[in-house]
Every structure is written in C-alpha cells, then in structure tokens.
C-alpha cells in the first residue's frame, strides 16, 4: 500500500453543487515520470459515512493533474478525498485533499 500525502489545499463546495476539482501530482512524481491515462477513482471518506458522489475522473490532457467531479455532501461536514494515481513506472501515488461542505 502506498503512503499518502496531505494536500495543503482545502476544497470547498455547497451541498447542492457539483464541481470539478483537480489534484496536481507534479510535486510527488520523480524525474520525468508521467501519470497513466486511467487513474483510480478517488475515494471520499467521512468518519462515519460518505454521501459524496464522485465521477468524471481523468488525467487532464498533457498534465500531471487528475480531475474529478464531486457532488452532494452534508452541510458543515469535512471529508477526506483520496486521489490515487499510477505513474508510467507502475508506482502508486496518493494525495489526500480535505473537502469542506458548507452552505
């Protein structure tokens, strides 16, 4: 299992919004490594349960960014969204992003 890195960025959305977020892996890839075209679906985890919807996961064309659309969520709740990527050397990288849902 790969160790995860905590992102310094906090994602913010309202419960009724559906927003596209990007997670930049340039700070964790070594040398000339690139991301594969089929990243793992990010997982959304709340301490008790998860009520987020995550879709449209893809590597942004020509970049080291994985985009994912995040919808739903409960007001006044924090979630950890783990973006998981595989590079061309078959190394797994995980970046945890904090998501705050506020109305």
What confidence tens digit (pLDDT) does each residue in 21-73 have? 999 998 888 888 888 877 776 665 544 457 888 888 888 887 899 999 999 99
**Residue 17 scores a pLDDT above 70:** yes
Q: Which residue has the higher pLDDT, 77 or 49?
A: 77
Are 25 and 85 within 8 A, CB to CB? yes
Q: What are the CA-CA distances from residue 78 to residues 33, 34, 50, 84 (Å)?
A: 32, 31, 10, 19
Query: Angle at Cα 100 formed by Cα 20 and Cα 55, nearest 5°?
Result: 30
**Radius of gyration from C-alpha coordinates of the chain:** 14
Distance between CA atoms of residues 24 and 89, nearest Å: 18
**Residue 18 scores a pLDDT above 80:** yes
Fold entry, domain 4-101: Immunoglobulin-like (2.60.40)
**Residue 2 scores a pLDDT above 70:** no
């Amino acid at each position: 299992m790969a160790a995860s890195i905590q992102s310094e960025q906090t994602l913010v959305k309202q419960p009724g919004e559906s927003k596209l977020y990007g997670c930049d892996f340039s700070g964790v890839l070594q040398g000339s490594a690139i991301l594969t075209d089929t990243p793992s679906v990010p997982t959304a985890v709340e301490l008790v349960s998860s009520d987020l919807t995550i879709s449209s996961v893809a590597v942004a064309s020509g970049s080291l960014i994985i985009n994912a659309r995040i919808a739903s969520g409960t007001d006044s709740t924090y979630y950890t969204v783990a973006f998981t990527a595989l590079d061309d050397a078959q190394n797994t990288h995980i970046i945890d992003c904090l998501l705050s849902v506020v109305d």
